[in-house]
Amino acid sequence: MSSDPTLERIAQGNGLALCAAGSWTARFAPVLEKMVADAEKLTGSRPNIFIDVSQVSKLDTFGAWLIERLRRSLTRGEHEAKISGLSANYSSLVDEVRRVKASPAIDTNSVTITGILDQVGRSVAGVGSTLVGLVDMLGAVLAASVRVMIHPSGFRLTSTVHHLEQVCWRAVPIVVLITFLIGCIISQQGIFHFRKFGADIFVVDMLGVLVLREIGVLLVAIMVAGRSGSAYTAELGSMKMREEIDALRTMGFDPIEVLILPRMLALIIALPILAFLGAIAALYGGGLVAWLYGGVDPEAFLLRLRDAISIDHFTVGIIKAPVMAAVIGIVACVEGLAVQGSAESLGQHTTSSVVKGIFFVIVMDGVFAIFFASIGM
């Protein structure tokens, strides 16, 4: 039923007939486009050109538009190219495409130096507004928690417990596994290098201090930012996209109180617990490797550990945890609420939630390091 389209040129006196035949449909669009482009070169070659479409067996929008395009480019001055032999079935289609205006210019985003500079400038300027956004959210969350303290009935216990299960209980296996492995690696590397100096036993000092003060909490915070921060952003973002947050607001609920406060609270409770479990797992893993690989038996390990570390090391680590949790939570919620209508925007904000969350966690860790050093802890 469908046959290859053709466009024959037949001279008629001082005129020229372009006879279109076959299927002028989307299927043959690449061929048709080429034929029409060739025929367009005939513009002005003869005073009288017309397009005969009586042999066209099938016509759709693509074909009709290409015939119309040909007609337009062959029309020059007072010589209007005509279309003849149009069957009744297709005349309305041709009329339809005749109303199409010449295609508007497309603005293509070409990469230019000024464009790149423009983008760099915008992202630098954006840092300020990011910080303002974070402080704004921090204030809103604090205000909401004060309101909840005054009216405890507004506190959403069920929701908090639900999120606690998600970010704490369900995170335990992976957190314990990863910190256990990291403990093993620290211990192995320590023994390998300290052995050269005959200082094998000091690996216990290094492991204890490193795990309790820094690595334990930092590693767990980074994992939580990746695991729960991204989930918060995606949840809040898709709620924003479907106008669920607007719906809450119109019902007289404060989204901060209903959605964000339980999430923040769950995270702030969860991170110290996870950091504690992570530190134990890392010490366990380190101890195991020290015993099996370094020949430090468990009794000697524990004895050395008791001498090497004080409660201060543990306190320093665990104090940092809730602050880091708050930072991760605030970044995640700000990003979640900033999601626009598209799926792409959701992806961008989830990415930047994790990136910014990890960045701020490390910055906070540095600030804490300076602080504890200066108070001598």
Q: Which residues bind other proteins (CB under 8 A)?
A: 25-27, 29-30, 33, 60-62, 65-66, 69, 89, 92-93, 96-97, 99-101, 103-104, 106-107, 340-345
Cβ-in-10-Å burial (0-12, 13-18, 19+) of 73 comes to middle
Question: 96 or 136, CB closer to other proteins?
Answer: 96
Cβ-in-10-Å burial (0-12, 13-18, 19+) of 227 comes to middle
Interatomic CA distance for residues 349 and 321, integer angstroms = 24
Residues with Cβ within 8 Å of residue 117, at least 6 apart in sequence: none
Contact criterion met (CB below 8 Å) for 171 and 267 = no
Q: How far is the CB of 297 from other proteins (least distance, A)?
A: 59
Write phi, then psi, for 11 (nearest 5 degrees).
-75, 135
Q: How far is the CB of 49 from other proteins (least distance, A)?
A: 21
Contact criterion met (CB below 8 Å) for 321 and 329 = no
Question: 30 or 77, CB closer to other proteins?
Answer: 30
Question: 61 or 84, CB closer to other proteins?
Answer: 61
Can you give the C-alpha Rg of the chain in angstroms? 35
Geometric angle at alpha carbon 152, from 148 and 157, rounded to 5°: 90
Q: How far is the CB of 70 from other proteins (least distance, A)?
A: 12
Q: How far is the CB of 57 from other proteins (least distance, A)?
A: 13
Q: Parallel, antiparallel, or unpaired for β 48-59 and 15-24?
A: parallel
Q: How far is the CB of 345 from other proteins (least distance, A)?
A: 7
Question: 62 or 194, CB closer to other proteins?
Answer: 62
Question: 100 or 149, CB closer to other proteins?
Answer: 100
Interatomic CA distance for residues 107 and 105, integer angstroms = 6
Q: How far is the CB of 102 from other proteins (least distance, A)?
A: 8
Give the three-class secondary structure for 11.
strand
Interatomic CA distance for residues 260 and 266, integer angstroms = 10
Residue 245, number of CB atoms within 10 A of its CB: 20
Q: How far is the CB of 344 from other proteins (least distance, A)?
A: 3
Give the three-class secondary structure for 218.
helix
CA 162 to the chain's CA centroid: 25
Q: How far is the CB of 68 from other proteins (least distance, A)?
A: 9
Dihedral of CA 243/358/169/158: which sign?
A: negative
Question: 111 or 375, CB closer to other proteins?
Answer: 111
Question: 60 or 205, CB closer to other proteins?
Answer: 60
Question: 29 or 172, CB closer to other proteins?
Answer: 29
Instruction: Show the tokens assigned to 10.
Output: 């037949």
Question: 10 or 343, CB closer to other proteins?
Answer: 343
Write phi, then psi, for 81 (nearest 5 degrees).
-75, 140
Question: 159 or 348, CB closer to other proteins?
Answer: 348
* Residue type (1 letter), 11: A
Q: How far is the CB of 33 from other proteins (least distance, A)?
A: 5
Geometric angle at alpha carbon 117, from 113 and 122, rounded to 5°: 150
Interatomic CA distance for residues 63 and 43, integer angstroms = 20
Q: How far is the CB of 11 from other proteins (least distance, A)?
A: 28
